[in-house]
Amino acid sequence: MRLTCQPSVLSQALQTVSRAISTRTTLPILNNLLLETTAEGLALTATNLEIGIRKVIPAEVAEEGSTTAPARLLTEFVGTLPDEPLEMALDAGTQTLSVRCGRFDTHIKCIEADEFPPGPRPDEGDRLAIALDDLLSAVEQTQMAASTDEARPVLTGELLHIETRKLVLVATDGHRLAERRLSAASGEELEAHLIVPARALGELPRAFRGETSEVEVIVSKARNQVFFRAGTSEVTQLMPLLARVHRFTAREAELVRLLVRGLSTSELAGPLHVSEHTVQDHLKSIFDKVGVRSRRELLAALVATSLSNDAP
């Protein structure tokens, strides 16, 4: 991989996609950004297995390729560079990324792109188009009513009700309720009910900064994932399928959701209102159902399962 781009543009994109990086994860690859060349330039992708953010920036690509680089290191370094052409070159053999800009020159150790969780395909789904300003306004007006109490996880999300060519956003914390109805500018005849974490919707204004016109809302055929796409930016809400595939109980499914966020065993007990011993029992049951022996193997199974559109 070898390309040239503007550091200011790259820096803004890095800051945006890095918001999907979890500060607490047991999977090192999730601390990295996926960098890959495309026909439009350079695509940057980050995920924490709950949400994913992708942006494409203009770049002159001399040689195609892909890799994953440490998000924090790359973001901080690029943010210090002068406004001169930035050159990136990847040594595929050593997975070392060379970054040169003006008098600055650094080499960053990367991880192969094959290790990054495979992303879902937003092109395979039903869609409708909403005016970007209308959607962002609706998110802002309803998000404040969503709960922040992890003891009632379903209320930390917003209900997206799509019927025909109308989109309804609803949020409540049990005491107050906010609702906003939008009409689609265009789209297909579809119906879906999805609960999307308020945090994921809160990333839309940042991810779509600088974009204009419409945002495309795409719902996967399995109705387990929703994508928001505007211009060269995408935000994906991943709704894990592992619980459905292995027939978890409601408590086990909630435990898996919290595990993705990197909580320790003692921290898991609080939101679930159970003892640490009970958490351990639930973990053992989950491990047995999935056929794994550790939290790390469980998260790896989640990567392989929850990002599949073809799961039952």
The model's pTM is 0.76
The confidence score (pLDDT) of residue 303 equals 58
Residue 199 has pLDDT above 50, yes or no: yes
* Least confident stretch, 125-129, 250-254, 306-310: 306-310
The confidence score (pLDDT) of residue 242 equals 44
Find the angle CA(3)-CA(8)-CA(11) to the nearest 5 degrees.
80
For the chain, percent of residues with pLDDT exceeding 90: 40
The confidence score (pLDDT) of residue 306 equals 47
Residue 285 has pLDDT above 90, yes or no: no
Computed over every residue of the chain, the mean pLDDT equals 83
Whether 208 contacts 53, CB under 8 Å: no
Same fold, 2-115 and 242-306: no
Domain borders along the chain are 2-115, 125-238, 242-306
Domain covering 125-238 assigned CATH 3.50.50.60 in the classification: no
The b-or-e profile of 72-91 (16+ CB within 10 A means b, else e) is eebbebbeebeeeebbbbbe
Q: Which CATH architecture has domain 2-115?
A: Roll (3.10)
Q: Which CATH architecture has domain 242-306?
A: Orthogonal Bundle (1.10)
**H helices within the chain, ranges in order?**
7-17, 71-78, 132-143, 198-202, 204-207, 242-245, 250-260, 265-272, 276-290, 295-306
